[in-house]
Amino acid sequence: MSFRPEPPYTHGTIPRSAVLLVNLGTPDEPTRGKVRSYLKQFLSDPRVVEVPRLVWWCILHLIILPFRSGQSAAKYRTIWTRDGSPLRVNTALQATRLQAMLTERGHEDVTVAMAMRYGSPSMPEVLDRLKEEGVDRIVVLPAYPQYSGTTTASIWDAVFQHYAKVRNIPELRLVKHYHDHEGYIHALRDNVLAHWDNHGRGQKLVMSFHGVPKRTLLLGDQYHCECYKTARLLATALDLSQDEYMVTFQSRFGKAEWLQPYTAPTVAQLARDGLERIDMICPGFTSDCLETLEEISMEVRHDFEAAGGKEFHYIPCLNASPAWIRGLAEIAEQHLIGWPTILTPAQREARRIDAERGAARAKSLGAPN
């Protein structure tokens, strides 16, 4: 195996630390072609779909991609903004504000970057850029609070696959989960309370998490348990009784049994049972996206109202709320412990000189192919 050449202009410089915030991904545009490319990459991941590869290849390329791409593109168009995909916009803003927060808390020598597991900016692209910037220590921070083999583990796969062909591998720390982290729970609590302060409180708080096939739980995936722990901790923080909240799972795909209760039919039943107003939050999503803005706030809202419900309130994701940025900073700090993140005056001067020399060497040598 041949390994890619290293950027020569980073040798001898003071190594930098970085936090890489990784989210699931999004199409570049809400068009059939771009959505097809995104779905192909996403649904080709064996972590996402555990079906024999040949069988799944036929299903994916002959059935799903030809028919689902156009349908999904139409859904994306209903939530697309002038700045692009809400998921990408929100994640980028989180990274920008996390950078500012870490600097404010004294971590001046930490770079914060954002990448997507599927789509752009891709993880290989961002990891290569960090190397060129002299980063030799990376905390990989998934945007998924609850661990699952279908999400978090796929990020690890991508990291390891990328560095399998790299000669000089940086020091890595991988954040597995933070489903019960105090900063995350407090941010969720503040988000709900702010909504209640502005819009009043519903008869029940429904916490909808993204679903996964039930067989993953039976085979040992801890996602289901972590979702319920998050829900219990949030309910406690809000002083809710068991009758005042419930957990559901959304986004079922295919005919196999997934984690239950399913969100849409459960919400419709709540309306039929006489509940006039419910509030819904999606704690497993830290950024608003197709699954929250279209599936929940549009489709599930319609199901609730069609079944007789009067008021459906969707509580937005954490996005870049101040409480969540503080929570992210606390999580990042815990995983940065032991790495130098504050420069001495001498190191600042050395860093300035390194930057000047590096720029000169890069110009004379050229970036490696």
Q: Which residues are annotated as a binding site?
A: 210, 291
Q: What does the alpha-carbon distance between residue 95 and residue 109 come to, in Å, rounded to a whole number?
A: 15
Work out the number of other CB atoms within 10 angstroms of the CB of residue 332: 22
Binding residues for Fe(2+): 210, 291
Work out the number of other CB atoms within 10 angstroms of the CB of residue 255: 5
The neighbouring-strand residues paired with 114 are 21
Angle between helices 182-199 and 322-336 (to 10 degrees): 180
Q: What does the alpha-carbon distance between residue 355 and residue 342 come to, in Å, rounded to a whole number?
A: 17
The answer to whether residues 304 and 270 touch, using CB atoms and an 8 Å cutoff, is: yes
Work out the number of other CB atoms within 10 angstroms of the CB of residue 233: 20
Q: What does the alpha-carbon distance between residue 21 and residue 96 come to, in Å, rounded to a whole number?
A: 10
Burial of 350 (0-12, 13-18, 19+ CB in 10 A): middle
Among 79, 65, 94, CA closest to 26: 79
